[in-house]
Amino acid sequence: MGKKIIYYGSGKGKSMAALGFAVQYAGLGESVDVIQCLKTKNINETNFLQRLEPEIKMFRFEKSECSFEDLSQEEKQEEKINIKNGLNFAKKVLCTGECTMLVLDEALGLIDEGIVDAEEIIDILQAGNEDTSVIITGRNMCEKLRDYVDEIYRIDVEK
């Protein structure tokens, strides 16, 4: 049975924890899609993660190499369209069963930035079947998501 999981907090390692699950699933022969949101394009990281394909398919729908907060208002509007296309893709792969695990990396930030509302993320969590796992990461927990996930992990810096 699939799980719905959130990793959030100010600490480092949320994305890596999600990718750890992705590698575990891929190792079992499952299909995994990872959609990166609001991440600056890091060519070294991107090249490394692309080596995980075809077992783990990586997607980034944003076109800009800059971080979202550094964009002009016009560029932000363009990126919002790209991001929403990415979320539509996420829902599609879940509904069609194209993947058994979907990672929405930094998707909680989409709510923080006002790009999407919690209901749009809830729609994605509810898409697919009961065997599909969805992992969402980000800095701030959106309380509206709490009732739609099985596990929530808070990752913070202690010292």
pLDDT at residue 126 above 70? yes
pLDDT at res. 37: 87
CB 14 within 8 A of CB 144: no
Q: What confidence tens digit (pLDDT) does each residue in 17-72 have?
A: 999 999 999 999 999 999 988 766 665 566 677 777 788 998 888 777 777 777 78
Closest of 118, 96, 119, 79 to residue 33, by C-alpha? 96
Q: Which residues contact 103 (CB under 8 A, 6 or more apart)?
A: 18, 19, 21, 22, 32, 33, 34, 35, 134, 135, 136, 137
Highest-confidence segment of 12-16, 48-52, 150-154: 150-154
The verdict on domain 4-154 having CATH code 3.40.50.300 is: yes
pLDDT digits (tens, 9 = 90+) for 73-122: 888 888 889 989 999 999 999 999 889 999 999 999 999 989 999 999 99
Task: Kindly report the pTM of this predicted structure.
Answer: 0.90
In the three-class reduction of DSSP (H, G, I as helix; E, B as strand; rest coil), residue 153 is classed as strand
pLDDT at 151: 97
